Amino acid sequence: MKLGRMNHVGVAVPDIDAAIVHYRETMGAAVVTRPFDLPEQGVRVCFVHTPGHGGSEGTQVELLAPLDDQSPVAGFMAKNPAGGQHHICYEVPDIAAARAEFEAMGKRILGPTRTGAHGTPIFFLHPKDMQGILTEIMETLREETH
């Protein structure tokens, strides 16, 4: 496969509203999306926009708070109560092709391909096969043309 755009860095936070205040007031973020629940992943999420080169859209920071104790993020928060970097997400043009390539390389994929926070199909790769990094692969969001 060909390395795609780094769509976002997933950051686990204990309190999503407090984290939004941090990114707005301490870091000076101009755009933070409205948080919403993603029950399929057990998290409440929102995105902090960062500027890219030359006015382009940069890599986002995805703020993740566990919805409950059963959340996949709950274990991370127990180990990192202040929060911390949780995963990195790269885009691919075709999620099925990417999944097949990682499978062919013997990389462990965590569960089925499902819909991610941007509404496109995603899957996660096991950190033990990815240099210790929980890696999300997402299909690039195609802007609708009218």
Q: Write down the residue that tokens 């127990």 correspond to.
A: 78
Restricted to residues 61-80, the positions that interact with a second copy (CB under 8 A) are: 61, 80
CB of 3 or CB of 34, closer to a second copy: 3
Q: Across-strand partners of 66?
A: 43
* Candidates 8-16, 34-42, 64-72, 110-118; binding stretch for a second copy (CB under 8 A): 8-16
CB 26 within 8 A of CB 76: no
Is 136 labeled as catalytic in the residue annotation?
yes
Buried b (16+ CB within 10 A) or exposed e, 55-65: eeeebbbbbbb
**Which residue in 136, 139, 143, 144 is the catalytic one?**
136
- Of 38, 42, 50, 72, the one binding a second copy (CB under 8 A) is 50
Q: In this structure, are residues 83 and 23 in contact, taking their beta carbons and an 8 Å threshold?
A: no
Type of residue numbered 141: L
Sign of the four-CA dihedral 83, 86, 91, 97: negative
Q: Does 27 bind a second copy (CB under 8 A)?
A: yes
Per CB under 8 A, residues contacting a second copy are 1-6, 9, 11-13, 19, 22-23, 26-30, 48, 50-54, 56-59, 61, 80, 82-86, 88, 90, 102, 105, 107, 127-128, 130-133
